[in-house]
Amino acid sequence: MLNRIYQMKAFMALGAINFRIFIFGQSVSLVGTWMQRLAMSWLVLRLTGSATGLGLVELSNQAPILITGFFAGHILDRYDMKKILIITQSLCMLQAFSLAFLDFTGIIRYQQVLFLSFMLGLVTSIDLPARQASVVRMLDRPDQLNSALTINSTIFNLARLVGPAFAGFAIQAVGETMCFFLNGIAYIAVIFSLTRLKIKKVEMPVRQTGWQGFKEGLDYTMRFHALKRILMTSSLFFFLCFPYSTLLPFFARNVFDGDASVLGFFLGSVGLGAITGVIYQASLVPLWKLHIRAIYSLGMFGFGLAAFSLSRSIELSCAALTILGFGMSTGSVCFNTLVQSIIEDDKRGRVMSLYTVGSIGIGPLGSLTAGALADIFGGTFSGLVFGCGAIFLALWMKYKLKTIEPSVLTKLKEKGLANVV
Q: What is the 3-state secondary structure (H, E, C) of the chain?
A: CHHHHHHCHHHHHHHCHHHHHHHHHHHHHHHHHHHHHHHHHHHHHHHHCCHHHHHHHHHHHHHHHHHHHHHHHHHHHHCCHHHHHHHHHHHHHHHHHHHHHHHHHCCCCHHHHHHHHHHHHHHHHHHHHHHHHHHHHCCCCHHHHHHHHHHHHHHHHHHHHHHHHHHHHHHHHHCCHHHHHHHHHHHHHHHHHHHCCCCCCCCCCCCCCHHHHHHHHHHHHHHCHHHHHHHHHHHHHHHHHCCHHHHHHHHHHHHCCCCHHHHHHHHHHHHHHHHHHHHHHCCCCCHHHHHHHHHHHHHHHHHHHHHHHHCCCHHHHHHHHHHHHHHHHHHHHHHHHHHHHHCCHHHHHHHHHHHHHHHHHCHHHHHHHHHHHHHHHCHHHHHHHHHHHHHHHHHHHHHHHHHHHHHHHHHHHHCCCCCCC
For residue 225, the enclosing domain spans: 13-198+207-414
Amino acid code (one letter) for 393: L
Per-residue pLDDT at 341: 75
Per-residue pLDDT at 90: 94
What sign for the dihedral angle of Cα 77, 81, 87, 91? positive
Model confidence at 318: pLDDT above 50: yes
Per-residue pLDDT at 23: 84
Query: In whole angstroms, how large is the CA radius of gyration of the chain?
Result: 20
Between 127-131, 245-249, 315-319, the lowest mean confidence (pLDDT) is in 127-131
Residues contacting residue 381 through CB under 8 Å, at least 6 positions apart: 373, 374
Tell whether 421 is covered by a domain: no
Model confidence at 231: pLDDT above 90: no
Per-residue pLDDT at 99: 95
Query: Domain holding 106: CATH number?
Result: 1.20.1250.20
Tell whether 287 is covered by a domain: yes
Per-residue pLDDT at 21: 83
d(CA 123, CA 127): 6
d(CA 147, CA 281): 9
> In 10 A of CB 233, how many CB atoms?
23
- What percent of the chain lies above the pLDDT cut of 90? 28
Model confidence at 409: pLDDT above 50: yes
Ramachandran angles phi, psi of 393, nearest 5°: -65, -40
Number of independent structural domains in the chain: 1
Amino acid code (one letter) for 139: L
Tell whether 401 is covered by a domain: yes
d(CA 387, CA 374): 14
Per-residue pLDDT at 108: 93
> In 10 A of CB 312, how many CB atoms?
10
Tell whether 420 is covered by a domain: no
> In 10 A of CB 78, how many CB atoms?
13
- Averaged confidence pLDDT in the chain: 81
Judged on CB neighbours under 10 Å (0-12, 13-18, 19+), 404 is buried
Per-residue pLDDT at 81: 79
**Per-residue pLDDT band at 305 (split at 50, 70, 90):** very high
Tell whether 397 is covered by a domain: yes
Per-residue pLDDT at 414: 63
Model confidence at 421: pLDDT above 50: no
Tell whether 281 is covered by a domain: yes
Model confidence at 338: pLDDT above 60: yes
**Per-residue pLDDT band at 71 (split at 50, 70, 90):** low
- What percent of the chain lies above the pLDDT cut of 70? 81
Tell whether 4 is covered by a domain: no
Tell whether 1 is covered by a domain: no
| Cβ contact 335:417 at 8 Å | no
Task: Over range 348-377, report the average pLDDT.
Answer: 82
